[in-house]
Amino acid sequence: MATLCPLSPLLSSSVVRSVLLILNRPLEPEVKVLKQLWSKAVYQACADGGSNRLYNTMGDDRDSYIPNIITGDFDSAHKSVLDFYQNKGVDVVITEDQDETDFSKCLRVTMQKTADLQYDFITVIGAFGGRLDHLFGNINTLFLAHSLTKKPVILISEGSVACLLGQGKHVLKVDTGLEDDWCGLIPVGATCDHVTTTGLKWNLDNQALQFGDLISTSNTYDGSQAVTIETDKPLLWTMGYKSI
């Protein structure tokens, strides 16, 4: 049984360590979130155009936010930005495979680079908003991630969090005070035939979740400190967080 606190990387009091991936989405509205995630990270990576976003958002403070690595085919990253970071000693790795997204490629390379590091989470900022096909590509990378790492991969952006729960029983701590009042369980990859939960206002009792029938959106909490979820197939958990 796995226990997870999805919002712990956003807590200044938390002692968790993470690997941080920055994707190619606007970061200006997310500066506080980015700085908090950065402070928890033992390793920071930018996926292609994510380097532009970091460079532009940090402005005069950019020298204090130098990533360890930038990966991609560099169809988005500006040459001047790459030159700046290379001059700061950043590892710039070309990943030309067009069968994978920049996020997937960045995750794959980053897992290789951090194999000897100790950390608790992989956090990803910039995964939501913009093009819908990009969003689904990012969710698909959560499935790929299960073959690359045993660590939880958590997408954190624009007031939403998402992570993929594997087959089995999970305990999610929801008592940090940052939780917004909504959450959901989405059977993205395939029908989940048997899902049982506790800690939600509308719990599931060995029920099936599938598109075209029941999916658990706009759910909320019953006041418990934790939500338990038991599922027979991978299941996407999503929840809201309050401004930090």
Same domain, yes or no, for 53 and 137?
yes
Same domain, yes or no, for 18 and 136?
yes
Q: Spell out the per-residue pLDDT of the chain, length 244, in tens.
A: 789 999 999 998 889 999 999 999 999 989 999 999 999 999 999 999 999 999 999 999 999 999 999 999 999 999 999 999 999 999 999 998 777 889 999 999 999 999 999 999 999 999 998 889 999 999 999 999 989 999 999 999 999 999 999 999 999 999 999 999 999 999 998 999 999 999 999 999 999 999 999 999 999 999 999 999 999 999 999 999 998 8
What are residue 162's DSSP bridge partners? 155, 238
Residue 131 CB-density burial (10 A; 0-12 exposed, 13-18 middle, 19+ buried) = exposed
Residue 216 lies in a domain: yes
Same domain, yes or no, for 142 and 178?
no
Same domain, yes or no, for 144 and 218?
no
Determine the pLDDT at residue 14.
87
Residue 169 lies in a domain: yes
Asked whether the beta carbons of 8 and 179 are under 8 A apart, the reply is no
Same domain, yes or no, for 55 and 36?
yes
Q: How many domains does the chain have?
A: 2
Domain CATH for 204: 2.60.120.320
Residue with the two structure tokens 């790795």: 93
Task: Give the domain-ending residue among 112, 142, 158.
Answer: 158
Domain CATH for 111: 3.40.50.10240
Determine the pLDDT at residue 81.
98
Residue 4 lies in a domain: no
Residue 231 lies in a domain: yes
Same domain, yes or no, for 38 and 122?
yes
Same domain, yes or no, for 30 and 150?
yes
Identify the domain containing residue 205 by its residue range. 159-244
Spell out the alpha helix ranges (H) of the chain: 31-40, 50-58, 79-87, 102-113, 132-145
Residue 5 lies in a domain: no
Q: What is the DSSP string of 69-131?
A: EEEE--SSS-HHHHHHHHHTT-EEEE---TTS-HHHHHHHHHHHHTTT---SEEEEES-SSS-
Same domain, yes or no, for 138 and 76?
yes
Task: Give the domain-ending residue among 119, 135, 158.
Answer: 158
Residue 232 lies in a domain: yes
Determine the pLDDT at residue 13.
86
The structure's pTM equals 0.95
Determine the pLDDT at residue 90.
98
Structure tokens at 76: 């988005």
Residue 3 lies in a domain: no
Same domain, yes or no, for 100 and 165?
no
Task: Give the domain-ending residue among 95, 127, 158.
Answer: 158
Residue 7 lies in a domain: no
